[in-house]
Amino acid sequence: MDVMPKWADVVLIPVISLVLAALLSTLVIVAIGEDPVAAVKLMVTGALGSTYAWGYTLYYATNFIFTGLAVAVAFHARMFNIGGEGQATLGGLGVALICLALPWPHWALALPAAVVGAALFGAAWAAIPAWLQAKRGSHIVITTIMFNFIAASVLNYLLVNVMRPTGSMDPATAKFPPGAHLPTLHDLLAPFGIAFSRAAPANISFLIAVVACVLVWLLIWRTRLGYEIRAQGHSEPAAVYAGIRPVRIIMAAMLVSGALAGMMAINNVMGEAERLVLNSVEGAGFIGIAVALMGRNHPFGVFLAAILFGFLYQGGAELALWTNIPRELIVVIQALVILFTGALDNMVRMPLEKLFLALRKDRA
Amino acid sequence: MAQGRQTDVAPAIELRGISKAFGPVQANKDISIRVMPGTIHGIIGENGAGKSTLMSILYGFYKADAGEIFIAGKKTSIPDSQAAIRAGIGMVFQHFKLVENFTVLENVVLGAEEGRLLKPSLAKARGILKTLAAEYELNVDPDAKIEDLGVGMQQRVEILKALYRQADILILDEPTGVLTPAEADHLFRILENLRAEGKTIILITHKLREIMAATDTVSVMRRGEMTATIQTSQTDPEHLAEMMVGRKVLLRVDKKPAQPGKTVLEVENLRVVDEDGVERLKGVSLNVRAGEILGIAGVSGNGQSQLLEVLGGITHGTGTVRINGQEIDLTGRHSDGQSRRARGICHVPEDRQREGLIMEFTAWENMVFGYHHDPAYQKNALFMDNAGIRDLAADKMARFDVRPPNPVLAAKNFSGGNQQKLVLAREIERNPDLLLVGQPTRGVDIGAIEFIHQQILDLRDAGKAVLLVSVELEEILSMSDRIAVMFDGRIMGERLPGETDEKELGLMMAGMDTKAA
């Protein structure tokens, strides 16, 4: 018997954790001599107050959905893929190569090709640590994190020495051709008479991220592969008993995970920057870990958590812009959210379980 | 220490109104018990009856929600195991808590060292061990490393550890689970010596025979409650079983004579080397015919697990295995659980919680575990037919009397017996040519044992071959049509159940060739 009803587990605990994180953040803001009420107001208007604000929040959220899903899929096989950063970096390389290879006539042709390129490069980058784990037992946490550094160095080398247009001083590729520019939410919503900010970077990738959530859900809970991934994740001896090959599952889960992380690049590289620059991932790979943690590795949870982190990211940027609250404080707030929803989960869970138990006893 | 000795009439241990709940599960309900000094007191009950919880409270691992503990008539609080040791309580766990690469002496002293230097403690312990060994027939080489000792010896070290800490009350949790019958007899002799010296012993077991043979008093637990405490001499196994289960139980298996048909499984010179390079199967040959049960007896760890695993496709091996006359692949690409199932071999593994089930999966997800590639369970090329599997699982659960018959409940929420029924339902309903069964009734309540045995017999009577591995000799003797005894990775010999007894099998299990003697 489960102690708590499911809604308490999925909704109540994260909400309470968030409230606690918010309270502590308030204390920190007070401590540095700023007005917490004004700060919250600024964050909310800055992240949700206009279509421009929403455009940024959703743009960040899109990144986090992809990297969050990547962590979640790997985690169902009980692997901790910390390499989202590197896989997304390589995904960017894939996108850039595809976009620059042809004078694309229309984004509708460029986008599917870029999705494939991003997924392939991301998956390939995850494949090496996966292989080392499956065949040599090298721990995936160690190898994926090391591959983040290798990815950054590889990209650095390529941008400076190979892909930089002659004469440019900037370690970045050339601009992608206009046919490879993705429609923004402004472009997509205009036909429906909805005026969405033209300047905001949110683009069609957001819809692809939503589709990815649905596909991941189907994969994990409806397909044989998902069944085997979950079985292997819960108990490897049982999986072997059932004739599931661990090597195959490790490879499959990590390839899907890497592909999802790589696909983030269609948002930030193709949709926003429209060229490949250094450090384009900006830590989204790591935030994906927090997003998956908070979203309980469920695609819908990942979606919600990604929106929340998009809000924190955009709201935080606004705070740094308009107040004396330093940008680092935003990192502190994000860290508090991660701390409370992840590491201190039991702190909220235990008293709640006791409470529900007491309630049940009274009823009985 | 037993300063309470002088009050002879006071019970060595008295528990009053002990209650303990884990979440919604009431593991112990208002339990009161008096254990008199200088007696062997048995506590019997089915798995999950709350025996281990009660002993863990007594040993300071858990804190009781309510109730009091009296040691030798004195109210005592036991917040941790150190306090239990101070109160004179020693515990011998089912799974030994020894440091493998330490010597016996070092293990005995561990945690009870005196002073900063180890040498004096060790010297003192050596002297005490010598006395204890002479007094109680507890002979163990103090300088042997634990990893070089057999389980029987390791258990003696556990007992010595408790005695070294001057325990007056010794609790043994399922002590004979890993012992040969001869080792078990020796253990009971040791316990009698201890009793003669005035020690108090609590023996936790689910084996009725041991209760009858070794104890003075027996307490029966059922569903967290203490249902009875009686003198052992005034009861019998049938009565005890009835009190444990709450209804009359058939302790014997009713079976028709076997009608063996053609040979289904032939094994020749089968060898298995484990990950550490140790040869666990050293050339096993056997065969099983249709309509017969071949029982493999043996002390656990003598290669039976590896035999099941290699036949079930979990590990690789060398040699020849034929099923229905066709050789099967033991090493290559076609040596896994999937290909074995395709050849008509179904496998009820020894450890259902670790292998047979995914505890977090629902019952319906578990009901196709290992067969999830079967086209019958797919909705289309992409997706599994979850709704269909759910209905099918509900049917099978009803047929195998799984309680509660709720297919969306996670496997971990079923009792041990019902988990085993889930596995059996899955495997037997596939109608295999050969059923591999490991420890079918380990940790299963007596009530469910009957049912499980009947299902296996029904499969045999339907003309299927069954290979049964069990460490319970009684089970082997009552279920098998032929018995093979394994020792040290080899088959020591085959016997017919009507022409042998526990004593002979016990000698063979200890590696002695009875024919040669």
pLDDT value at residue B3: 42
More confident residue, A270 or B416: A270
pLDDT at A157 over 50: yes
CA dist B107 and B111 (Å) reads: 9
Q: Give the pLDDT confidence score for residue A29 in this predicted structure.
A: 87
**What integer pLDDT is reported at residue A242 of this predicted model?**
95
CB contact under 8 A, B338 and A230: no
Q: What HEC string does A138-183 produce?
A: CCHHHHHHHHHHHHHHHHHHHHHHHHCCCCCCCCECCCCCHHHCCC
Residue of A nearest to B409 (CA): A1
Instruction: Quickly name the fold that domain A50-307 has.
Output: ABC transporter involved in vitamin B12 uptake, BtuC (1.10.3470)
pLDDT in tens, chain B (517 residues): 344 444 456 899 999 999 988 777 788 999 999 999 999 999 988 777 888 889 889 998 888 999 999 998 899 899 988 899 999 999 988 778 899 899 999 998 888 877 778 888 888 889 988 888 888 888 888 898 988 888 888 888 999 998 898 899 999 988 887 777 788 888 999 999 999 989 999 999 878 888 888 999 999 998 888 988 999 999 988 888 888 877 776 667 778 888 999 999 999 999 999 888 889 999 999 999 999 999 999 888 889 999 999 999 999 999 999 999 999 999 877 789 999 999 999 999 999 989 999 999 999 999 999 999 999 999 999 999 999 999 999 999 999 999 888 999 999 888 788 899 999 999 999 999 999 999 998 878 777 888 999 999 999 999 999 999 998 888 999 999 999 999 999 999 999 998 988 888 888 988 887 665 4
In this complex, do A242 and B378 lie within 8 Å of one another by their Cβ atoms? no
Partner-chain contact A228 B372, CB within 8 Å: yes
pLDDT in tens, A128-153: 999 999 999 999 999 999 999 999 99
The minimal CB distance from B341 to the residues A223, A243, A357 is found for A243
Contacts of A243 in chain B (CB under 8 A): 313, 336-341, 370
Does A364 have pLDDT greater than 60? no
- Nearest CA of chain B to the CA of A84: how many Å? 27
Q: Given pLDDT bands bounded at 50, 70 and 90, which one contains residue A11?
A: confident
- At residue A14, the pLDDT reads 81
Q: In chain A, what residues touch B22 (CB-CB under 8 Å)?
A: none
A363 against A200, higher pLDDT: A200
Residues forming beta bridges with residue B25, ordered by sequence position? B22
pLDDT digits (tens, 9 = 90+) for A53-94: 999 999 999 999 999 999 999 999 999 999 999 999 999 999
Cβ–Cβ < 8 Å for A249, A228: yes
Which residue ranges make up each domain of chain A?
50-307
| Closest residue on chain A to B349 (Cα) | A241
B336 at A interface, C-beta within 8 A: yes
Distance from CA of B33 to the nearest CA of A (A): 27
Residues 6+ apart with CB under 8 A from B448: B417, B418, B420, B421, B441
Q: What is the Cα gyration radius of chain B?
A: 25
Residues from chain B contacting residue A353 (CB–CB below 8 Å):
23
Spatial separation of the C-alpha atoms in residues A221 and A225, rounded to whole Å: 9
Give B496→chain A minimum CA distance, Å: 31
Tell whether B24 is within 8 A of chain A (Cβ). Answer: yes
* Inter-residue contact A231 to A238 (CB < 8 Å): yes
Residue with tokens 């179904």: B346
Whether residue A265 has pLDDT greater than 50:
yes
Which residues of A are less than 8 Å from B372 in CB distance? 224, 227-228, 242
| Other Cβ atoms closer than 10 A to B350 | 22
Judged by CB atoms within 8 Å, which residues 366-385 of B form the interface with A?
Answer: 369-370, 372-373, 378, 382-384
Residue A124, pLDDT score: 98
H/E element, B75: strand B74-76
Is the Cβ pair A3, B357 closer than 8 Å? no
Residues of B whose CB is below 8 A from A352: none
Question: What distance in Å separates residue B43's CA from the closest CA in chain A?
Answer: 27
Question: Which residue of chain B has the CA closest to A240?
Answer: B314
Residue of B nearest to A242 (CA): B370
What band does A2 get if pLDDT is binned at 50, 70 and 90?
low
| Residue type for position A22 | A
Binary contact (A223, B384; C-beta < 8 A): yes
Mutation site for B-interface testing, chosen from A214, A227, A236 by largest number of B Cβ within 10 Å: A227
Give residue ranges of A with CB < 8 Å to any B CB.
1, 3, 218, 222-224, 227-228, 230-231, 234-235, 237-238, 240-245, 353, 357, 360
DSSP state string for B7-39: -TTS-SEEEEEEEEEETTEEEEEEEEEEE-TT-
- Chain B residues whose CB is inside 8 A of the A356 CB are none
All domains of chain B, ordered by start, with CATH? 11-245 (3.40.50.300), 263-509 (3.40.50.300)
Instruction: Report how far residue A260's alpha carbon sits from residue A292's, in angstroms, rounded to the nearest whole number.
Output: 13
Find residues 274-313 of chain B whose CB sits inside 8 Å of chain A.
312-313
CB contact under 8 A, A245 and B349: no
Residue-level pLDDT at A268: 95
Binary contact (B355, A235; C-beta < 8 A): yes
**Out of A3, A224, A241, closest to residue B314 by CB:** A241
Q: How far is B94 from chain A (nearest CA, A)?
A: 23
- pLDDT for residue B250: 64
Cβ atoms of residues B173 and B210 within 8 Å: no
**Residues A90-128 pLDDT 10s:** 999 999 999 999 999 999 999 999 999 999 999 999 999
Side-chain half-sphere CA neighbours of B288 within 13 A: 29
Question: Whole-angstrom Cα distance, residue A292 to residue A64?
Answer: 9
For residue A237, which residues of chain B lie inside 8 Å, CB to CB? 351, 354-355
The minimum CA-CA distance between A5 and chain B, rounded to whole Å, is: 13
Question: Are B365 and A353 within 8 A, CB to CB?
Answer: no
**CA–CA gap between residue A293 and residue A313 (Å, rounded):** 17
